[in-house]
Amino acid sequence: MAEMRTIEDLDANNKRVLVRVDYNVPIKDGEVTDDTRIRASLPTLEYLLDQGASIVLMSHRGRPSGEGIEEEFSLRPAALRLAELLQKPVMFATDTIGEDAQAKVAALRPGDIVLLENLRFDKREKKNDAEFAAELAKFGDVYVNDAFGTAHRAHASTAGVADLLPAYAGKLMEREVSTLSGMLENPRRPFAAILGGSKVSDKIKVIDALMDTCDTLIIGGGMCFTFLLAQGKSVGTSLKEEDWVERAAEMLKKAEDKGVQLLLPVDVVVADAFSNDANTQTVSVDEIPDDMMGLDIGPKTAELYADALACAQTIFWNGPMGVFEMPAFEAGTKAVACAVADNTEADSIIGGGDSVAAVNQFDLADQMTFISTGGGASMELVQGEKLPGVEVLMA
């Protein structure tokens, strides 16, 4: 992949820097309940402040209607949390491009920082509207994008403004893109990819792309049942996508042709209902009862997967092995998370979404090499798509 222009290429002294961050954080009773994304932006902000810049921050949060301010989607609590983390005042503009934003931006001095109200209070943001982008661009001398999580969307704040101002990648953006593309282009081998989650249809492009580069592909979660169907097995009432059995069969063939070791469950935990209190049993994949559904990989499978992961030098993981939100079906996901954590030699890359939630649930986050902040964006990058928010930062 070509190089990106990064903030290290920028002389930010005395500049007003318009920074797109991803502060799409959960908020309850006016407080940020998970500040991971705010913390992830600190290296870029601290670097720019040290350089003598002033900063105008912009982000979306949630899915407001786009017809004006809706308090429940306000970014004000994020400004308060950022001020605590930076240990300095952070101004908050009560509108996005209106009078308050304009006044606060105009008053900025080097070292000052202001967060604009939610970009998506204006429906023109998602439409990548040229006028809205021009209004935003007036707020900066230069533009920095540190919001990897929205880089797969061409919105005014991720694509439009980059055409109007000199555009650079922030440190988080740079690390996300270089880690994921480095993994695809030049992984330390053996390279093992673990894919789980609910549906084959959602992940088929990722499976296909990873098959071109990885040595071992480990499959779990609801989607393994469509693969088991492709192998001619019965899967009872498990989640299955009949329309995707043929594609799954093609993937099995591709693995064989390419010499990729493709691992599927040998045993599963089946239940008589989709419930934590269901009656369960562990069965071989050749003996799934007609009236039961598989909700986790079984212990033999967990051991098989852990053995494969123990010798990997690069590990990429996206998607849980079972319904890990229910304690009765978390063991497989936990075993895989522990196996990734136990392999301290490997570069372990967690590709966003539910696998990040799983790693946090088992308190193993600090034992991973890299945890992507972007679920959809990291999947699109891995499946070889060009991300509009990244393309505009290419040197």
Reduced to 3 states (helix: H, G, I; strand: E, B; else coil), residue 240 is coil
Does 30 qualify as catalytic in the annotation? no
Does 199 qualify as catalytic in the annotation? yes
Catalytic pick from 62, 66, 182, 376? 376
Minimum distance, C-beta of residue 333 to ligand AMP, in the bound complex (Å): 8
Q: Sheet containing 142-145: which strands, arranged edge to edge?
A: 91-92, 113-115, 54-58, 16-20, 142-145, 167-169
Told to check if 374 binds ligand AMP by CB under 6 A, we report: no
Is residue 301 within 8 A of residue 267, CB to CB? The reply is yes
Minimum distance, C-beta of residue 293 to ligand AMP, in the bound complex (Å): 7
Q: Which stretch binds ligand AMP (CB under 6 A): 9-17, 68-76, 277-285, 314-322?
A: 314-322
Unique residue bearing structure tokens 């004006």:
68
Question: Side chain identity at 333, as an amino acid letter?
Answer: T
Identify the residue among 180, 295, 309, 346 touching ligand AMP (CB under 6 A): 295
Told to check if 332 binds ligand AMP by CB under 6 A, we report: no
Site string for ligand AMP, 141-160 (x = CB under 6 A): --------------------
Reduced to 3 states (helix: H, G, I; strand: E, B; else coil), residue 370 is strand
Told to check if 70 binds ligand AMP by CB under 6 A, we report: no
Unique residue bearing structure tokens 């570069």:
347
- How far is CA 123 from each of CA 54, 61, 284, 335, rounded to the nearest angstrom? 27, 13, 52, 44
DSSP string, 102-169: HHHHHT--TT-EEE-S-GGGBTTTTTT-HHHHHHHHTT-SEEEE--GGGTTS--TTTTGGGGTS-EEE
Q: Residue 3's closest CA among 213, 210, 184, 181?
A: 181
Told to check if 222 binds ligand AMP by CB under 6 A, we report: yes
Q: Which is nearer to ligand AMP, 83 or 306 (CB)?
A: 306
Q: Which stretch binds ligand AMP (CB under 6 A): 27-35, 122-130, 176-184, 317-325?
A: 317-325
Residues in 186-205 at the binding interface with ligand AMP, rule: CB under 6 A: 197-199, 202
Identify the residue among 354, 359, 364, 387 touching ligand AMP (CB under 6 A): 354
Does 322 qualify as catalytic in the annotation? no
Sign of CA dihedral 47, 49, 55, 57: positive
Q: Which is nearer to ligand AMP, 319 or 388 (CB)?
A: 319
Question: Side chain identity at 273, as an amino acid letter?
Answer: A
Q: Tell me how many residues contact ligand AMP (CB under 6 A).
A: 16
Told to check if 112 binds ligand AMP by CB under 6 A, we report: no
Sign of CA dihedral 139, 121, 172, 31: positive
Q: Which is nearer to ligand AMP, 218 or 295 (CB)?
A: 295
Does 376 qualify as catalytic in the annotation? yes
Is residue 2 within 8 A of residue 8, CB to CB? The reply is no
Identify the residue among 325, 328, 361, 367 touching ligand AMP (CB under 6 A): 325
Told to check if 233 binds ligand AMP by CB under 6 A, we report: no
Per CB under 6 A, residues contacting ligand AMP are: 197-199, 202, 221-222, 239, 294-295, 319-320, 322-323, 325, 353-354
Q: Which residues are catalytic?
A: 37, 199, 353, 376
